[in-house]
Amino acid sequence: MTTAADPVVEDCQGHSQDRSQTDLAAPERAPRTWPVFVALWAALIILTIFSLLYGRYSLPWQSWWRVFFDQDSAGLESIVLLQVRLPRVLAAILIGGGLSVSGAAFQGLFRNPMASPDMLGAYAGAGFGASIGILLGFGILGIQTLGLVGGLVALLVVWVLGTAATRLGGDPTLTLILVGITVQEAGMALIRLTEYVADPHGKLAAITFWLVGGLSAVNPNDLKFAAVPILLGVIPLLLLRWKLNVLSFGEEEAKALGVNPWVIRAVIVLCTALISAAVVSVAGMIRWVALVIPHFARMVVGANHKALLPASFLMGSCYLLLVDDCARGLFALEVPLGILTSLVGVPFFLYLIYRTRRERA
């Protein structure tokens, strides 16, 4: 564009010429996002079918017919499909989508593409809650409930400390992140403490297995337990996604545009924490999904949260289905999903860093 060094006369002429042209020329159309969504839905459906049929116990597609229409002859097939594979696949869809939506919303709220919902302490809090549950010898429902409660309590602590600090002045979102990271670290230390005092031949292994993250143990009850809080978190985020655009311009501009930032921030933070805590409660600490997937969604559908949030959900679902299939099939022994998402997420993220640097240069 024009710079201060340009001759003034030319500059003015340039602008007036621009104007006479634009009054006549029709604007080009907005880029359409629906083909992307058609492709993402198709990918999700294909991956879902593949993931249901794929596995150590191989099942032809006719098994589904038998399970639904001829239950007497189904037998073991019915158990494998309905009790093992279906819950696992649905959990991957919900967890991958939920984490990605919460990541996209979180990055918009905090106006920082490097932000991730586990920064607000919900992950560590839920992990600590679940570890305590295992340590105390609770049943599976007790462990999951303690995990969910732990995540929400951690968020409450962050919110109370954060708003108290904000009253003294400064940027509320930055304050919240700083307090969140602190509480997160405290939670991780407490998790280490539960591991330290746990019986090394029994409960320590159980805690480690839980926290490393995976879907191998997900059964229909776990799915029900996680689905409610994840959907309770995802739906308000999707409903508020346009306001998220406004909020990403910062506190004062949002207010001047008629949006109350406190209310929306509270709802978004609560929803993302609910999703995080629910994920940790049934599947352990699956990391990097919430951070990485929104970036890819942004590359495909652009920054507008109206398209970004649904696209993130679909891409996150596909991604976790794919990674979970790898976890099941890559090696003779199942690799924990939480390890794979980190191993895949880190190089993705490095690639993003290089890419954004190159664009700026």
Partner 1 sequence: MKISVEQISAGYGNKTVIHDISLEVASGEVICLLGANGSGKTTLFKTILGLIRPLSGKVCVDGEDISHWPRQRLAKTLGYVPQAHTPPFAYSVRDVVLMARSVHSGPFASPGKHDIAIAEEALDRLSILRLAHQRYTELSGGERQLVLIARALAQQAQILVLDEPTSNLDFGNQMLVLRHVKELAQGGLGLLMTTHFPDFAFLCATRVALMKKGKILAIDYPEKTLTQASLEEAYETPLRIADAGLGMRVVVPRLN
Question: Would you tell me how many other CB atoms lie within 10 Å of the CB of residue 18?
Answer: 10
- Our CB check for partner 1 shows the closer of 56 and 167 to be 167
Query: What is the Cα 230 distance to its own chain's centre?
Result: 10
Q: Is 14 in the site for partner 1 (CB under 8 A)?
A: yes
- Our CB check for partner 1 shows the closer of 208 and 248 to be 248
Smallest distance from partner 1 to CB 313, Å: 16
Q: Please state the φ and ψ torsions of residue 217, each to the nearest 5 degrees.
A: -100, 5
Q: Is 199 in the site for partner 1 (CB under 8 A)?
A: no
d(CA 283, CA 341): 13
Decide: residue 302, CB within 10 A, 0-12 exposed, 13-18 middle, 19+ buried. Answer: middle
Smallest distance from partner 1 to CB 30, Å: 5
112 three-state secondary structure: coil
Q: Return the ∠ at Cα 249 (arms to 251 and 271), rounded to 5°.
A: 75
Q: Which of 29, 56, 201, 358 binds partner 1 (CB under 8 A)?
A: 29
d(CA 294, CA 314): 11
Q: Is 37 in the site for partner 1 (CB under 8 A)?
A: no
Closest CA to 315 of 103, 45, 116, 40: 40
Q: Is 25 in the site for partner 1 (CB under 8 A)?
A: yes
Q: Is 1 in the site for partner 1 (CB under 8 A)?
A: yes
d(CA 242, CA 325): 34
Binding segment toward partner 1, per CB under 8 A, in 8-16, 62-70, 119-127, 225-233: 8-16
Torsion sign over Cα 341, 232, 94, 237: negative
Q: Is 240 in the site for partner 1 (CB under 8 A)?
A: yes
Q: Is 258 in the site for partner 1 (CB under 8 A)?
A: yes
Q: Which of 38, 164, 256, 353 binds partner 1 (CB under 8 A)?
A: 256
Which residues in the 103-122 window bind partner 1 by CB under 8 A?
A: 108, 111-113
Smallest distance from partner 1 to CB 99, Å: 20
What is the DSSP-derived secondary structure letter of residue 116? -
Q: Which of 140, 163, 300, 306 binds partner 1 (CB under 8 A)?
A: 306
93: Cβ contacts below 8 Å, ≥ 6 apart:
44, 48, 317, 320, 321
Note the residues at the interface with partner 1 (CB under 8 A). 1-4, 6, 8, 11-12, 14-15, 18-19, 21-23, 25, 27-31, 108, 111-113, 169, 239-243, 245-246, 248-249, 252-253, 255-260, 264, 298, 302-304, 306
